[in-house]
Amino acid sequence: MKNCNQCGKCCIRYSDGGLSATRDEINFWNEFRPEIARYVHDEKIWMDPVTGDQLSVCPWLTQLPDQKKYICGIYDDRPDDCRHYPVTIKEMILDECEMLEPKDLARPKYAQKRLNIIMADSRPAYE
């Protein structure tokens, strides 16, 4: 499995309503990061602060100039849905994650164990 190359596929795929935030995350943003809280409406995240409509792309996702790389503007305070991704090899396959290598596809159980090690600082292991 390769290191993340910041292709942004996961962020783009899930940022238009496929993510959620916990009440604790929203409370934290309200208190300490009001610029993030502006994009929460009725406990849904990445909503237009003016219209309340779902944004099509996360407002914190920025493509680096002249590159196919993306960065997260709230990386340290991103929701757990983002922090925990990716969870499963199957999910990565569906999302066309560029971390996967042919050997991961040939041995998905081993790849899942490897992914759990890589993600150990971000989420619990997936069995």
Mean pLDDT across the chain = 94
Contact criterion met (CB below 8 Å) for 99 and 9? no
Residues 19 and 17: their CA atoms lie apart, in Å, by 6
How many domains, the chain?
Answer: 1
Q: Which helix (H) or strand (E) segment is 31 a member of?
A: helix 23-32
| Mean of pLDDT values over 7-29 | 94
Q: How many CB atoms lie within 10 A of CB 113?
A: 15
Q: Does 86 reside within a domain? A: yes
Q: Does 53 reside within a domain? A: yes
Q: Does 2 reside within a domain? A: no
Q: What is the pLDDT of residue 124?
A: 85
Tell me the pLDDT tens digit for each residue of 33-90. Answer: 999 999 999 999 999 999 999 999 999 999 999 999 999 999 999 999 999 889 999 9
Cβ partners under 8 Å of residue 24, min gap 6: none
Q: Does 105 reside within a domain? A: yes
Strands of the chain (E only): list them. Answer: 40-41, 44-45, 61-63, 70-72
pLDDT beyond 80 at 127? no
Q: What is the pLDDT of residue 109?
A: 94
Domain that holds residue 79: 9-118
